[in-house]
Structure 1
Amino acid sequence: MSFFGPRDVARAAVRGRWSGLEIRRLTPPERLGTPESAAFEELVGVLNGIVYQLWGDDDFVETAEEALAGLREQDYLEKIVLVAVEEGAIVGRVEADFPLDQDAETVSLLVDVVPALRSRGIGSALLAAGEELAAEGGRTVVSAYTEHPVRSLPEEGAWVHAPAGSAGLPAEDPGVRFALRHGYRLGQIERSSELVLPLPPVRAVALASTAATADGYRVVSWFGAAPDDLLDSFAALKERMVVDVPHSGIALDREAWTGDRVRAQERELAARGEPLLVTAAQCEASGDLAAYTEIAVPADGEKAEQYDTLVAADHRGHRLGTLVKLHNIHELARCAPHITRLLTWNADENAPMIAINRAFGFRPHALTGTWQKRLG
């Protein structure tokens, strides 16, 4: 399904306002290493340079193969990439991610500009082109994001706060100023946290003691693909992720999850070389899955990323968050002993999950701002 044809988006208008700059739609190539893939591979290199300058390491650097795999599965999330080209070189991009669920009203825009070329209108041009895509696609809520490594946060100064939570983003940060200048409102802050593995023995024993109080539940784990007999129950639990997580300050679309959608996500992550390691808690009385946590596990490197962690609302208060996280970390040590760092993200107002992370020994890594704007 696609809202858009192959034509360019308001090219003449963009060129008229930002002289010498072109905004072009980038079509993902069928194969890499071909003349048709040159622009895509150039974009991957540009984005990796931006990432490295922001974070100071290669934690979020992607290979062209990984980036291409992330664009191929578009049955549930359509991803449209526009690039800014100046003097024949790619200098930025906006990726518009359109959830394709029925009644979806949001779109997410990822805007990046080469650092040395910022403050010249390139980001504004890309944002305008992304918002035009959103309007053409009938979306009324646009989300954008700013990322703030802990090492970059000032010790004092003015802060911008979301409606909920205690964290704030520095008001003088260029990304913050850019979002505010273009009419976006800070809706939520996510805390990124890092855990060094393996767990110290004393901490592991204390966590195991807490997890042992989860009576009436058993754990089940899988790597890469959910068991067929748990597929529908797992899909039903993933559908609750948007419903049960804190999101009072931002608009989120409901997501319909089926077994087919779970399999599509598994295919995408396997193609990226980061299959999911999942541990779920199963209610012994009903057989339903009550909680789960996921880790995307790369074949090499030392860093892995924790994706969803959810305890269904009617099963909370039984230490299931600790149970599934601890068991998944044990499974991670067994199947991927090369992983020595784990990153996770939580809404700033999600105090229960943040408390669990602190008990594991997670330490602050970064803040991510979710900014939203209503069109029309």
Structure 2
Amino acid sequence: MNTLLSAGAARLHDDGRITPLGAGGMFRACGVLAKQHRLRRLSEDLHAKADRYQRLIDGDAGHPLAGRREVLAQEIRHVCDRRSNLNDSLAWAAARWAVDQAVAASATVIYVEDLRSMEALGMGRTHNTRMSQTVRGQIVDRMRHLAAETGIAVVTVPARNTSKHCPRCLTPLRHRKAPDRPTKPGWKWAVCGSCGYQGDRDAGAWKRIAARGFTHQAKTVVDRASGAMVIRSVVDELEAAAVVTPTAKTSRKDRSKTGPTRRHAARPTPRRRRTPSPARPQGPAGKRPEGHAHTARTRLPRAAHRDQDVTTISTPTTRHRPRGAALGAGFHLHTHATPPHWAEPEPDTTTRIGSLS
């Protein structure tokens, strides 16, 4: 459910060697596939309930459950339409991704595994139905349509043992849960005990598919019914040569210079400042230009309405006026306080009063 497609590029050399080009890629659609899985389970539950109602009705048109059976039929059609639209969109997206990978690698042919041979025998009708209804069957048809526009051929090859055998020596692989759990059985990580190869199960599968397609080119035929190019069977003699040779790694000891050494700054620019900021517009608006923020102290706010008290510092008498000595700048910043009422002498009411006589 995590990986919908795994693909990679390989090259067939004149001497018959097959080498991979890069590590390949994977097309993941976890969210869409989870939604598809929920819709499939919902459709199965609705079909099971509808079949139960049909058995209870037993051909009686006036049965009380006939109305419920009709409502369930409409809901089943609605869920099926949603599943069809979702599968169609996902198939087109996956096919476009695969064709784009082939165009980027300058490929001339795309080899895909034949999914009709992947039905699990003996697992029951329900499991085989789920395998046939998967969106992977639609991807190949969309891929043929898109690849024809670019002149790339699409050939299907048998999918037998593509994930079982090692792509380098064709030895059966041991599958483990993860690369850091070499003793935990699983299916995701493949380890070869003969040549030492290890890698993702899907990565080894696309290498086996490419090698099988290259070695069986002479067995390619055109299907009369569908008109598609297919390789129907695997020949043991050719399959023995369908191995992928790892690309030679470049030596790190060769330090011969091919040009002048690029000058490096003594103090490289931090990563967050390597990309220049946009030009500042002509005006007060816009983003701050590139560089550090200004660290100087800002002007102190004026607070003339702030409550004052007698304990504040008095007004300086000298010419020197410290910063923030403006009127009402705040406590301990040379603010001016109003004298209290008890500091002012009360007026003498007996002054200027003449004799009563």
Q: TM-score when scaled to structure 2?
A: 0.22
Question: Which has the higher Rg, Structure 1 or Structure 2?
Answer: 2
Q: TM-score when scaled to structure 1?
A: 0.21
Tell me: higher relative CO, structure 1 or 2? Use CA pairs within 8 A at least 6 residues apart: 1
Q: 1 or 2, which has the higher strand percentage?
A: 1
